[in-house]
Structure 1
């Protein structure tokens, strides 16, 4: 670790590989970052910068608080929370402890834990939320967190609208990937029939039922193969994206997500619903093929009739990700936020 390097502990939840990717990028910029992920998923994201020493499994809240105070308080300059529906302890006792010790705190909100349907519908007529928490629960959570945490990072203006009335300082930093992990697939497709894939990490949010129905209807008119990528690890899923000619992401959120970004980084054209609200906040050259639940059938007909246009869209997609979602660029923005917090 470099002398005078900023030291940051991240946790407690991984979302779409964003915590791990951010920590990796920060370490490239001389920030000593370590992460704690308390809930593992079948996606099995790599976690090379995890905090090696941790409290014992089944530790009580008091044991966790003691660990943070004795093993982390002096070892880290900043504590960067991810998600918010839970922290290292229940009831945000750890947040209150760190605040009482005047440790700088920042939180990344990634989506589902702050989305309120009533708010979402104001800018997105197709909005669907996971429904895990009521609007009242989310309001209470954000009030408790923002009482102790002054700094917040969101990925885009869609998430910004849910947190804008709570935090003192809010920054928009797009999600990021390590471009070195995603090779641009510039070769001609060796699929005899066009391969279209869809990865339903959440079938309700993704609009999977409508996607499956539309693809089944189009089978009578067009020759293509359609595959659901479900239950695979992140590494396995990436291999399947690479084999595809087209990726369908989601039909409800109004934003393109990590599946879209990963596919675009490989030079794969993507179909995804982007709301008019978000189109006003994206660059004009966003190369995503826009479709919602009502237009998907017609959009896919156009795509299947104009397959020759897809390679050019794929090339533009890779360039777009390089400009907007590069881990090295975006993690540097977060480092600058840390420097502001410590100044």
Structure 2
């Protein structure tokens, strides 16, 4: 489990785990901003808003992705792990300051590029145009 991996790595490297659960969103973001690494839910086989928030904050983010999903999203900044290899993946990130820095920068850029509102609207409009539902040009500038 995530808890076991955090405890195991925390003891070895003297890192302080921050467990963020069942808190108001504002408190969640405040706590998240103190983190050097963020672990999103494992076993869900994807990423959610919380993972995107941590990437946008420049925090290297660990998620579990199905191979097909990973291929679909292409070059992404997530660190992919599962419950079996999480302790090793987490320890590797704790040990490698430079990798965390690269992931931090890449994560922020990726969210800005791929998860911005204008891009999302234009993708939806393109789908609508392909279905013959909408003929206008892109409404939003990139």
* Bucket of the pairwise TM-score, normalised by the shorter protein: 0.7 to 0.9
Corresponding position: 1:307 with 2:97 = yes
Corresponding position: 1:280 with 2:71 = yes
Aligned counterparts of 1:328 and 1:232: Cα–Cα separation in 2: 30
Corresponding position: 1:227 with 2:34 = no
Q: Which of these residues, 68, 71, 83, is aligned with residue 293 of structure 1?
A: 83
Instruction: Find the counterpart in structure 2 of residue 244 from structure 1.
Output: 35
Aligned counterparts of 2:71 and 2:134: Cα–Cα separation in 1: 34
SS at 1:238's partner residue? Answer: helix
Corresponding position: 1:320 with 2:92 = no
Distance apart, 1:212 and its partner CA? 0.6
Higher share in helix: 2
Distance apart, 1:303 and its partner CA? 1.2
Aligned counterparts of 1:298 and 1:232: Cα–Cα separation in 2: 28
Equivalent residues in 2 for 1:165-180, closer than 5 Å? none
Give the TM-score of the pair, scaled to structure 1: 0.36
Aligned counterparts of 1:311 and 1:251: Cα–Cα separation in 2: 23
Contact 2:44 2:64 in 1 (8 A): yes
Corresponding position: 1:214 with 2:5 = yes
Q: How many residues align?
A: 133
Q: Which of these residues, 122, 134, 138, is aligned with residue 332 of structure 1?
A: 122
Distance apart, 1:239 and its partner CA? 2.2
Q: Which runs of 5+ in 1 are unaligned?
A: 1-209
Instruction: Find the counterpart in structure 1 of residue 61 from structure 2.
Output: 270
SS at 1:280's partner residue? Answer: helix
Q: Which runs of 5+ in 2 are unaligned?
A: 136-142
Instruction: Find the counterpart in structure 1 of residue 138 from structure 2.
Output: none
Please tell me the root mean square deviation across aligned C-alpha atoms, in Å.
1.8
Instruction: Find the counterpart in structure 1 of residue 133 from structure 2.
Output: 341
Distance apart, 1:226 and its partner CA? 0.7
Larger radius of gyration: 1
Deviation by residue 1:25-70 (Cα, 9 ceiling, x = unmatched): xxxxxxxxxxxxxxxxxxxxxxxxxxxxxxxxxxxxxxxxxxxxxx
* 1:253–1:333 distance in 2 versus 1, CA, 3 Å: same
Distance apart, 1:320 and its partner CA? 0.9
Deviation by residue 1:247-294 (Cα, 9 ceiling, x = unmatched): 1002112212211111111111001111212122121x2111111011
